[in-house]
Amino acid sequence: MSADSFLDALRDEGLTVVQVGDWRTHNRNHKGPWGPVHGVMIHHTVTRGTADTVRICRDGYAGLPGPLCHGVIAKDGKVHLVGYGRANHAGLGDDDVLRAVIAERALPPDDEANTDGNRHFYGFECENLGDGRDPWPEVQLEAIEKAAAAVCRRHGWNARSVIGHLEWQPGKIDPRGFTMNAMRARITERLS
Using rule CB under 5 A, residue 120 touches Zn ion: no
Q: Of the listed pieces 10-18, 61-69, 111-119, 169-177, which binds Zn ion according to CB under 5 A?
A: 169-177
Binding string, residues 36-75; x marks residues near Zn ion by CB under 5 A: -------x--------------------------------
Shortest reach from residue 82's CB to Zn ion, in Å: 15
- Residue 56's Cβ-side half-sphere holds a number of Cα atoms within 13 Å equal to 18
Shortest reach from residue 91's CB to Zn ion, in Å: 8
* Binding residue for Zn ion, selected from 174, 176, 186, 187, defined by CB under 5 A: 174
Neighbours of 14 (CB within 10 A): 10
Using rule CB under 5 A, residue 94 touches Zn ion: no
Binding string, residues 129-168; x marks residues near Zn ion by CB under 5 A: ------------------------------------x---
Q: Which is nearer to Zn ion, 75 or 89 (CB)?
A: 89
Q: Do 42 and 144 contact (CB within 8 A), yes or no? A: yes
Residues lying near Zn ion in the complex (CB under 5 A):
43, 165, 174
